[in-house]
Amino acid sequence: MKYYKQEKLLKLICELENQPISLILAMRNSRKTPYKNVRQIFYYFGIEYKLGTLQELADYFEQKHCTALSGVKTLKGLIDTEKYTKQKIEDYRKIVEKLLNDFNMFSWSSTESEKASICLYNNIPVAFMNDARYRILLDNPKDFPADIDIENKRKFVEKMVIVILKKLVC
């Protein structure tokens, strides 16, 4: 789940900074401002919200932990000295917290045999999953896509639950 959060965080930061994620990953060694800003913000929030160690975060860009540490220190310095950067990071923080809180609303309770799980959303049972099928308690049963592992099954169910909850709320 940690790596899934890192991926979502990077996608969110790229979107906020108006940079395509493919370009950010391709230009991972570039020192040009738009690319390094995305990496610095990613490292900063990754450490702040404990999404991984410095090395795990740096591995995302095939860099070393000291590069991630340098990026965090640089961004903290900019936050302390530039009003614009401070305001931008505060605005981003609100959005990142919302993203991460959405992840934390889901929990999975496995049966003793580990062959089935129940998905809870804010402690309300919303889905049941076993090896072959899932049933969203608010919707009809569906088949999983072929060749999907257990963690991806859970992500798939969570996405479907969010879609259905949005339909119910709207």
Residue 110 and residue 71 in one domain: no
Q: Is 5 helix (H, G, I), strand (E, B) or coil?
A: helix
Q: What is the mean pLDDT of residues 32-43?
A: 93
Residue 113 and residue 75 in one domain: no
The predicted-structure confidence for 66-97, as pLDDT tens digits, reads as follows 999 999 999 999 999 999 999 999 999 988 88
Residue 83 and residue 20 in one domain: yes
Residue-by-residue DSSP string for 107-154 = EEEE-TTSSEEEEEETTEEEEEEESSEEEETTS-EEEPPSS--HHHHH
**Model pTM?**
0.62
- Give the domain range for residue 10: 2-103
